[in-house]
Amino acid sequence: MIDFDAVNREAAGYRDQMVAFLRELVALPSESTEEGAVIERIRAELEATGAYDEIRTDGMGNLHARLGSGPVLIAIDAHIDTVGVEPRSEWAHDPYKGKLTDTHVFGRGAGDQEGAVPAMVYAGKIIRDLGLASDDWTLLLTFTVMEEDCDGLCWQYIVNEEGIRPDCVVVTDSTDCKILRGHRGRMEMGVWTKGRSCHGSMPEKGDNAVYKMARIVGEIEKLNDRLKADEFLGKGTITVSYIDCETPSRCAVPGGAFIHLDRRLTVGDTKESAVAEVKDAITRAGEQAEVKVLTYARPSYTGLVYETEKYFPTWCFDEDAPQVRAAVQTWGALFDEPPTVSRWTFSTNAVSIAGMFGIPAVGFGPAPEDVAHTVNDSVPIDHLVRCAAFYATFPHHFCAARAESGVAGAAAQS
């Protein structure tokens, strides 16, 4: 039997090491496609613990750390890239200094979502320290890249190219130490209007593509109000997130215009239905325009280009799913208060893990969602301790929950 009080004491004992490690991570800028330095720093920490049987980097640049070789493969995933910091003038402190208070670490990536990394790394150390490893399971930690640019792309690579398909994945993107069992999907679309350029001094001789697009934008705003809602996952949304035009000069009528659409998908939304809704909005505007689902094809920091369509499905698991039950049981064994079971508002790597591949997933990580991408990006220090204890003991409960459900073990790969 696991001594859960000992696990909590052990996690608390690594508090200072985890804080120092996190501050070093925050100090290394790691925007999408530029994560190499952070990957190497995490590798060094993994090696220093002496807890892991294998540490390697794949062709995309994702870092893998394996502990054990049992038949049930349990992965814990953190994306280690961040968004940028502009405008710097809005920050009350240097975003790359890892400002430390009595209760929090501040800085770009502290909350979203490098704060999970020390907890994951030291969870393996706790497992080794306390002899919690089991012949029943393999633990695979994945420190993944490019999520902010294209969430889930890293796991498309891991499943399709590395041949790794876990029995369960704990997604550590910000949950505020709540247990999350689903979130909306998302997709990105582009809309193009065409007009006829002419000199700006005689606009009546041209056909302004921006005016056409402006009418479409108004209908996109109205479309957002009409989108359906799900009782648990919430409402589908659509917004214009970027606008541009083609013009020969600043004193000419634009001959082309473009908008980028961010569409969040709730239960019942599909790629086809979302595209059809945008086409209907264009018709309501009385215009003609081209609509496309966009693709992503930026090279990773290793130089690999792994192109994908920007459609990422909705996913949700019931509360009685083994991985959700296991998360609740893990919480109950470690902590004195009742858990909160809910869902994310934003999107995570689980759009591929669960949405595309149907791999059982559950969310548990440090820091609240609402600090993500803000100048208040931060993580409570006590969340690092809680998460380390949680990650160290989750495999035990997941195997028990699987057995209760009568699910046979699969061969672990890593």
Record the tokens describing residue 178, joined without a space. 């709540």
Distance between CA 352 and CA 294 in Å, rounded? Answer: 17
Alpha carbons within 13 A on the beta-carbon side of 25: 35
Element (H or E) spanning 72, and its range? Answer: strand 72-79
Residue 283 in this model has a pLDDT that exceeds 70: yes
Element (H or E) spanning 291, and its range? Answer: strand 290-293
Distance between CA 57 and CA 386 in Å, rounded? Answer: 27
Distance between CA 216 and CA 251 in Å, rounded? Answer: 23
Domain ranges of the chain: 4-183+314-405, 185-296
Per-residue pLDDT tens digits for 66-95: 999 999 999 999 999 999 999 999 999 999
Residue 405 in this model has a pLDDT that exceeds 90: no
User: What pLDDT shows up at residue 149?
Assistant: 95
| Choice among 45, 77, 114, 147 that is catalytic | 147
Q: Find all residues with CB under 8 Å of 1, minimum gap 6, and list them.
A: none
User: What pLDDT shows up at residue 261?
Assistant: 98
- N- to C-terminal Cα distance for the chain? 27
Q: Find all residues with CB under 8 Å of 170, minimum gap 6, and list them.
A: 74, 75, 76, 77, 323, 327, 361, 362, 363, 364, 391, 394
Residue 414 in this model has a pLDDT that exceeds 80: no
Residue whose entry in the numeric block shows the structure tokens 């799913």: 321
At 409, the pLDDT band (50, 70, 90 cuts) reads: very low
Residue 247 in this model has a pLDDT that exceeds 60: yes
User: What pLDDT shows up at residue 313?
Assistant: 95
Record the tokens describing residue 191, joined without a space. 């809309």
Q: Which fold has domain 185-296?
A: Alpha-Beta Plaits (3.30.70)
User: What pLDDT shows up at residue 20?
Assistant: 98
At 1, the pLDDT band (50, 70, 90 cuts) reads: confident
Same fold for the pair 4-183+314-405 and 185-296: no
Residue 210 in this model has a pLDDT that exceeds 90: yes
Per-residue pLDDT tens digits for 315-334: 999 999 999 999 999 999 99
Residue 123 to residues 171, 267, 380, 388, Cα–Cα distance (Å): 15, 35, 17, 5
Mean pLDDT of 200-221: 98
Max CA separation in the chain (angstroms): 83
| Choice among 10, 35, 45, 81 that is catalytic | 81
Higher pLDDT, 411 or 376: 376
Record the tokens describing residue 17, joined without a space. 């090491």
At 406, the pLDDT band (50, 70, 90 cuts) reads: confident
Element (H or E) spanning 121, and its range? Answer: helix 116-130
At 407, the pLDDT band (50, 70, 90 cuts) reads: low
User: What pLDDT shows up at residue 363?
Assistant: 98
Per-residue pLDDT tens digits for 220-238: 999 999 999 999 999 999 9
Distance between CA 115 and CA 78 in Å, rounded? Answer: 9
Residue 323 to residues 128, 169, 402, Cα–Cα distance (Å): 23, 8, 8
Nearest Cα neighbor of 183 from 160, 151, 226, 215 is: 151
At 281, the pLDDT band (50, 70, 90 cuts) reads: very high
Secondary structure (3-state) at 343: coil
Which CATH number, 3.40.630.10, 2.40.10.230, 3.30.70.1520, 3.40.50.300, labels domain 4-183+314-405? 3.40.630.10
- Judged by phi (left if over 0) then psi (alpha if -120 to 50, else beta), residue 325 lies in alpha
Q: Cβ of 302: how many Cβ atoms within 10 Å?
A: 16
pTM for the full predicted model: 0.94
Where does 242-352 have alpha helices with state H?
Answer: 271-284, 322-334, 350
Q: Is 147 a catalytic residue?
A: yes
Residue 92 to residues 28, 86, 333, Cα–Cα distance (Å): 19, 13, 39
